[in-house]
Amino acid sequence: MPDRPKRGSRAKPKTAATKPARAKGKGTQPRTASGALMEPSTFARAGEESVAGMRERVVAGHRAAGRQHQTSEWRVPVRPVQPNADDAIRDTNPLSLADRELLQLGGAGADFTRTDPWRILRITAEFIDGFDKLASVQRGVTIFGSARTAPDDPQYAQAAEVSKLLAQAGFEIITGAGPGIMEAANKGAKAGGGRSIGCNIELPFEQGANPYVDTLVDFRYFFVRKTMFIKYSVAFIIFPGGFGTLDELFEALTLIQTGKISNFPVILFGRHYWAGLIRWLQSRVLGEGKISAGDMDLAVITDDPHEAAHAVITAYEAARHLQRAPR
């Protein structure tokens, strides 16, 4: 038996040197940005709530505009066994979500030759349809922003105004065809006598186009739709919005940064909304050398529809001058 300490004496307290070593990382509990434990149930719940939140915002945007928007329940994607290749190509099952079908892994023993390879033909057809319907667009400006912005919101009026100014200057206005900022932009295009274009996307719930769209193109695949936004636009105007808006913003900045597109103004509308992001980019991303100082000048920030329209018009005219200049 170990010796007991003498009566009246105290056992020496354990020091860091005498404490048993804790395994590196043991006891740590990774958490999400909101502080929730990183567990499968957390991701499942977050995914469901995210989809429900997106649905709620779209419905709220339509209702704010005075429309009783009809939505369906979650459409469960299905991957039926195709009897032949032709059926696989022409599958129009209304219960399927093409993007999700494409991105999910096939099940064990899935007949690969009757799923993803043949889906490429459907993707090709979607590109062809988009190119065909938008081929005449020469001066498109895509406007992004929240679907939830109501008609009585000042940003709604500002989006309509900048679109009207651009339409009067001969530009076509392109949006995602939904409510909110998208609707305001399409409405402004029509008020300015210009072409109003909507690129709609298949979602887990129905998303109808707003009533101000003249040319509507429906897409099943996000990446096909995003290609159209870039290909047929000479500028992006980014109003306050969520993940989808941020996605388009950073994709445009990345394409400019990597030299894939040029003379392409990206305009952030709403100084107060974007201020925090800009400060973070300057202090953290630029401060740690993840981007260069010049990258901070890739986007214009404004609160004035006339400034936004002027930036687009000026950049477009400068690009045309460069094209005409002798080499």
Considering its fold, how many domains does the chain have in total? 2
pLDDT at 305: 97
From 116, 135, 154, the end of a domain falls on 135
Higher local confidence (pLDDT), 199 or 15: 199
Domain that holds residue 176: 137-324
Q: What is the mean pLDDT of residues 143-148?
A: 96
The tokens for 60 are: 């709220």
Tell whether 292 is covered by a domain.
Answer: yes
Tell whether 25 is covered by a domain.
Answer: no
What is the tens place of the pLDDT at every residue in 310-322?
999 999 998 888 7
From 94, 120, 135, the end of a domain falls on 135
Q: CB-based contacts of 178: which residues, under 8 Å, 6+ apart?
A: 58, 61, 147, 200, 207, 209, 210
pLDDT at 117: 78
Please check whether residues 319 and 194 belong to one and the same domain: yes
Please check whether residues 179 and 200 belong to one and the same domain: yes
Please check whether residues 174 and 295 belong to one and the same domain: yes
Query: In DSSP terms, which residues pair with 71 in a beta bridge?
Result: none
pLDDT at 324: 75
Rounded percentage of the chain residues whose pLDDT exceeds 90: 56
Please check whether residues 223 and 313 belong to one and the same domain: yes
Residue 300: band (very low, low, confident or very high) from pLDDT cuts 50, 70, 90: very high
Q: What is the mean pLDDT of residues 286-310?
A: 94
Does pLDDT of 125 surpass 90? yes
Average pLDDT, the chain: 80
Please check whether residues 92 and 176 belong to one and the same domain: no
pLDDT at 83: 42
CA 247 to chain centre: 4
Tell whether 112 is covered by a domain.
Answer: yes
Residue 79: band (very low, low, confident or very high) from pLDDT cuts 50, 70, 90: very low
pLDDT at 28: 65
Please check whether residues 210 and 257 belong to one and the same domain: yes
What is the tens place of the pLDDT at every residue in 105-123?
655 555 555 677 778 888 9
Please check whether residues 111 and 197 belong to one and the same domain: no
Please check whether residues 101 and 148 belong to one and the same domain: no
